[in-house]
């Protein structure tokens, strides 16, 4: 898929119409409801952004659902390019929303802590998205045209160990454990990205082995 073709899909609206936007809308409404319940309180600079990030991530887990997946298998555009284009569109939606969340909450934190808080929370958010998309991609590889339905329980199941392993705490508040915890989050992010990249490889592709040419016999 050339950049011109990708841009035409975006410009014409075909790609947007093929995405499942309802989960995004539900996540946005749930986030707005959460903010309304909080009554504008932005003092919890760790817990509240985590909740909002989780809602955004769960909405983005459905971006790889594609009812035309079987038809597009015969298209000249590789599976990886189709999937990454969808992921790119999702990032274009959730990225600005996450920036708004940080812009709302970080100013209430001490000035010296804002950078560490912002980076740590963003790593958590990115790791959640990467896990969701990795699950969705491998669901697609195993025949699920709509793998989004399995991403929510998969992410929630993955979050359970992060809150229940005292030897390696991850859902920590800002303090001495913040940096070690987010090194572990970074490891999860890198692992999930590797699994995601492996899953976007076209199943029809075959590894080409070098051809060995034997010496001609005299």
Output b/e per residue, 157-183; b: 16+ Cβ within 10 A. ebeeebeeeeeeebebeeeeebeebbe
Contacts 24+ apart (CB under 8 A), 101-107: 101/49, 101/52, 101/53, 101/56, 102/49, 104/42, 105/42, 105/44, 105/45, 105/48, 105/49, 106/45, 107/42
Tokens of residue 60, six digits: 């983005």
What is the pLDDT at residue 63?
79
Give the residue, 193 or 81, on which the prediction is more confident.
Answer: 193
How many domains does the chain divide into? 1
What is the pLDDT at residue 41?
80
Q: What is the pLDDT of residues 101-124, one digit of tens each?
A: 999 999 988 888 889 999 999 999
Q: Is residue 64 part of a domain?
A: yes
Q: What is the pLDDT of residues 121-164, one digit of tens each?
A: 999 999 999 998 888 888 877 766 677 777 778 877 877 776 66
Q: What is the pLDDT of residues 47-102, one digit of tens each?
A: 899 999 988 888 877 777 765 444 344 444 566 777 788 888 888 888 998 999 99
Q: Is residue 205 part of a domain?
A: no
Q: Is residue 112 part of a domain?
A: yes
Distance of CA 214 to the CA centre of its chain: 48
Q: Is residue 212 part of a domain?
A: no
Tokens 């093929």 belong to which residue?
18
pTM of the model: 0.76
Are 55 and 32 spatial neighbours (Cβ–Cβ below 8 Å)? no
Q: Is residue 210 part of a domain?
A: no
Say whether pLDDT at 217 is over 50.
no
Q: Note the maximum CA span of the chain.
A: 89
Q: What is the pLDDT of residues 7-54, one digit of tens each?
A: 444 554 445 555 666 777 787 788 888 888 888 788 888 889 999 998
What is the pLDDT at residue 78?
62
Q: Is residue 82 part of a domain?
A: yes
What is the pLDDT at residue 71?
39
Q: Is residue 207 part of a domain?
A: no
Query: Confidence band (pLDDT; 50, 70, 90) for 216?
Result: very low
What is the pLDDT at residue 103?
92
Q: Is residue 114 part of a domain?
A: yes
- Range of 193's domain? 3-199
Supply the mean pLDDT for the chain.
76
What is the pLDDT at residue 70?
41
């Amino acid at each position: 898929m050339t950049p011109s073709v990708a841009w035409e899909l975006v410009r014409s609206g075909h790609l947007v119409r093929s995405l499942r936007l309802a989960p995004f809308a539900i996540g946005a409404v749930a986030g707005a409801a959460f903010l309304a319940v909080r009554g504008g309180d932005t003092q919890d600079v760790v817990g509240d952004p985590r909740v909002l990030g989780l809602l955004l991530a769960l909405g983005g887990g459905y971006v790889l659902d594609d009812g035309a997946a079987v038809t597009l298998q015969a298209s000249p555009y590789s599976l990886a390019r189709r999937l990454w284009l969808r992921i790119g569109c999702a990032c274009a939606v959730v990225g600005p929303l996450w920036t708004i969340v940080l812009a709302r909450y970080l100013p209430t934190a001490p000035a010296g802590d804002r950078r560490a808080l912002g980076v740590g929370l963003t790593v958590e958010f990115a790791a959640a998205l990467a896990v969701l998309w990795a699950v969705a991609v491998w669901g697609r590889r195993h025949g699920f045209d709509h793998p989004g339905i399995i991403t929510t329980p998969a992410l929630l199941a993955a979050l359970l160990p992060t809150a229940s392993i005292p030897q390696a705490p991850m859902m920590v508040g800002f303090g001495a454990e913040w940096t070690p915890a987010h090194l572990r989050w970074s490891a999860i992010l890198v692992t999930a990205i590797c699994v995601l990249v492996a899953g976007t490889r076209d199943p029809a592709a075959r590894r080409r082995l070098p051809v060995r040419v034997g010496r001609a016999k005299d």
